[in-house]
Amino acid sequence: MATRENPFRNLPQVQKLLELPAARSLSERFGHRAVTHALRSTLAELREQIGSGLLAAAPDVDTVLARSGERLADEVRPGLRRTINATGIVLHTNLGRAPLAREAIDAVADASSAYCNLEFDLETGRRGSRTQALEPLLEQVTGAEAALAVNNGAAAVLLALSALSRGGEVIVSRGELVEIGGGFRVPDVIRQGGARLVEVGSTNKTRLDDYRAAITPETRVLLKVHQSNFRTIGFTAETGMAELAGLAREHDLLVVADLGSGLLHRTPGTTEPTVGEALAAGADLVTCSGDKLLGGPQAGLILGSSEAVDPLRRHPLLRAVRLDKMSLAALEATLRLHRDRPERIPVLRMLGQSEEELQARAERLMAMVGSGEVEPSDAFAGGGSLPEERIASRALALAPPMGPDEAAALLRSGEPAVVGRIRQDRLLFDMLTVADEDLAELAEALKAVAA
């Protein structure tokens, strides 16, 4: 009778709930404040549901506690979640680009879990430079005379142009005025750096004479931007680095090359210039990212002659784009691996897999899932690197009964999240970017949608 008159009446009180053993164990796990807050929110929601007639009566205490527990578990789920990348795109900017090598992860933990000599010279006891350990290593692996590292590739370009061309003119080919993604456009960066952009040539052809004709007493830099995420094909002409460097020398100008991807070692079949090749061809300054083909943390590397790098060291913008100690630690460890044991860098390992390995992994996954088919698949390096170079790979293809979009959404919500590709009515899981250690978890997730 009482319940019928007042359906809110049996809703428990927060203080009473907090005294129960189940609430105490929630408090131990999530903290007292969070549990109090979650109980209040759950009760408010129940009150609303009763008020709107969605619920006839208050649920029992166990239900209230269970709902609060779910709410708390949701709240502590981190925003950044582990994701199995089954897209076949090794450097997927949306999925965090390069996974780090074990050595780099350990270096991050060491540098960040205690104090470290970030800007302290342990020999002299005086203030040191934060990149002093890194610079010789960068010089060793690239052959550059001088080196600097900043927060990311875009910052490296901005700093270079700010320090070398402010108030002057920067000449760049119309075929290289690219947008890298996320709104990073070369013309905008040149303007931000305080220089005037002088475009030369046409979209498909830019010759040395085009650069030569545009040189004025205001010219500071000849800029070469790697096309990264697209290619001009057909009737095309591009001025090579060596020719450009020759012209720059005649007029006492600097050549800056934004390579983007940061390839350090020549790998068979890649058309991408390496950092060392660009420097050897005469670039005064080369910039690239740390988390593309270099396989390290987010960072921007600047390599070149001392004459070109020194003004950047003195520029006020350097402070605003400096690397933090965790990235610095990861970058140093990654560069050491490049020098001594490149096969331990995950990005390089993934790109170096044979079709037999990929076929075997796909077959193992198929056996674990108990359904699907193994098919040839085109994988890519990604991240604006080698956009045309398809990598022959293998994928497990599934036709989930609930339809591919719904299945893909379900896989994204899992732990770990799984991201693959959709082709027609099926889901494809490419083996190039899946590690053997991920197979068991991936198979569990796929079984749930294949059933």
Ligand X SMILES: *Cc1c(COP(=O)(O)O)cnc(C)c1O
Return residues touching ligand X (CB under 6 A): 152-154, 157, 180, 184, 225-226, 228, 258, 260-261, 289, 300, 384
Helix (H), strand (E) at residue 376: strand 373-382
Least distance in angstroms from the C-beta of 232 to ligand X = 15
Contact 219, 169 (CB under 8 A): yes
Distance CA(10)–CA(392), nearest Å, equals 64
260 or 404, CB closer to ligand X?
260
Least distance in angstroms from the C-beta of 94 to ligand X = 12
Least distance in angstroms from the C-beta of 214 to ligand X = 21
Two tokens, residue 419: 């991201």
Contact 415, 444 (CB under 8 A): no
Least distance in angstroms from the C-beta of 96 to ligand X = 12
42 or 385, CB closer to ligand X?
385
Residue 118: which of 284, 279, 323 has the closest Cα?
323
Residue 127: which of 137, 119, 135 has the closest Cα?
119
Contact 370, 359 (CB under 8 A): no
Residue 17: which of 55, 69, 74 has the closest Cα?
69
Two tokens, residue 214: 């545009």
224 or 361, CB closer to ligand X?
224
Distance CA(120)–CA(129), nearest Å, equals 7
List Cα–Cα distances, 9 to 37, 48, 93, 180, 201, in angstroms. 21, 13, 53, 61, 80
Give the sign of the dihedral formed by CA 229, CA 232, CA 238, CA 242: positive
69 or 296, CB closer to ligand X?
296
84 or 302, CB closer to ligand X?
302
3-state secondary structure of 383: coil
260 or 295, CB closer to ligand X?
260
Distance CA(447)–CA(434), nearest Å, equals 17
Least distance in angstroms from the C-beta of 330 to ligand X = 14
Least distance in angstroms from the C-beta of 164 to ligand X = 16
Least distance in angstroms from the C-beta of 177 to ligand X = 11
Question: Cβ atoms within 10 A of the Cβ of 74, count?
Answer: 9
164 or 180, CB closer to ligand X?
180
Give the single-character DSSP code of 175. G
Least distance in angstroms from the C-beta of 229 to ligand X = 7
List Cα–Cα distances, 396 to 203, 342, 357, 372, 405, in angstroms. 40, 29, 14, 6, 17
150 or 407, CB closer to ligand X?
150
